[in-house]
Amino acid sequence: MGTLFSDAERHLQKAFEHIEVSPDTIERLKYPKASIKVRVPVRMDNGDLKFFEGYRVRFDDTRGPTKGGIRFHPNVSQDEVASLAYWMTFKCAVLDLPYGGGKGGITVDPKKLSRFELERLSRAYINALGDFIGPDIDIPAPDVYTNAMIMGWMMDQYNTIHRRIAPAVITGKPLAMGGSVGREDATATGAFHTIQAILPKINLDSPETTFAIQGFGNAGAILAGLLHKAGYKVVAVSDSKGGIHNADGLDIPAVRDHKETSRTLESVYCKDDVCTLYPSDRISNHDLLELDVDVLIPAALENQLTADNAANIKAKAVFEVANGPTSYDGEEIMVNNGILVVPDILTNAGGVTVSYFEWVQNRSGYYWTLDEVNQRLEERMVRETENVWSITKEKGCSMRTAAYIHALGRISEAMDARGTKDYYLNKV
Length of the chain: 428
13 domain residue, yes or no: no
Q: Measuring CA to CA, how many Å separate 34 from each of 8, 19, 104, 213?
A: 19, 27, 12, 37
366 domain residue, yes or no: yes
Say whether both 187 and 153 belong to one domain: no
Q: What is the pLDDT of residues 27-74, one digit of tens each?
A: 899 899 999 999 999 999 999 999 999 999 999 999 999 999 999 999
Q: Which of 192, 215, 206 lies closest to 382, judged by CA? A: 192
Say whether both 195 and 145 belong to one domain: no
CA distance 37 to 53: 7
- Count of domains forming the chain: 2
10 domain residue, yes or no: no
- Please state the pTM of the whole predicted model: 0.92
DSSP string of 318-348, one letter each residue: EE--SSS-B-HHHHHHHHHTT-EEE-HHHHT
14 domain residue, yes or no: no
What pLDDT, on the 0 to 100 scale, is given for residue 91? Answer: 96
What pLDDT, on the 0 to 100 scale, is given for residue 421? Answer: 83
Say whether both 204 and 143 belong to one domain: no
What pLDDT, on the 0 to 100 scale, is given for residue 275? Answer: 40
Residue 115 structural domain: 32-172
Q: Which of 233, 351, 243, 258 lies closest to 289, judged by CA? A: 243
Give the CATH number, domain containing residue 69.
Answer: 3.40.50.10860
Catalytic residue among 67, 91, 103, 233, which? Answer: 103
Say whether both 126 and 156 belong to one domain: yes
What pLDDT, on the 0 to 100 scale, is given for residue 268? Answer: 52
What pLDDT, on the 0 to 100 scale, is given for residue 422? Answer: 83
What pLDDT, on the 0 to 100 scale, is given for residue 270? Answer: 44
Say whether both 154 and 187 belong to one domain: no
Say whether both 288 and 412 belong to one domain: yes
What pLDDT, on the 0 to 100 scale, is given for residue 273? Answer: 36
What pLDDT, on the 0 to 100 scale, is given for residue 241? Answer: 83
CA distance 318 to 199: 11
Q: Which of 172, 202, 223 is the last residue of a domain?
A: 172
What pLDDT, on the 0 to 100 scale, is given for residue 302? Answer: 84
- Kindly give the parts of the chain with pLDDT less than 50: 269-277
Say whether both 357 and 258 belong to one domain: yes
Say whether both 215 and 160 belong to one domain: no
Q: Which of 156, 172, 188 is the last residue of a domain?
A: 172
Say whether both 299 and 416 belong to one domain: yes
3-16 vs 399-416: helix axis angle to the nearest 10?
80
What pLDDT, on the 0 to 100 scale, is given for residue 2? Answer: 58
Residue 103 annotated in active site: yes
Say whether both 155 and 285 belong to one domain: no
CA angle 76, 342, 215 (to 5 degrees): 50
12 domain residue, yes or no: no
What pLDDT, on the 0 to 100 scale, is given for residue 272? Answer: 39
244 domain residue, yes or no: yes
Q: Which of 172, 199, 222 is the last residue of a domain?
A: 172
1 domain residue, yes or no: no
Say whether both 230 and 314 belong to one domain: yes
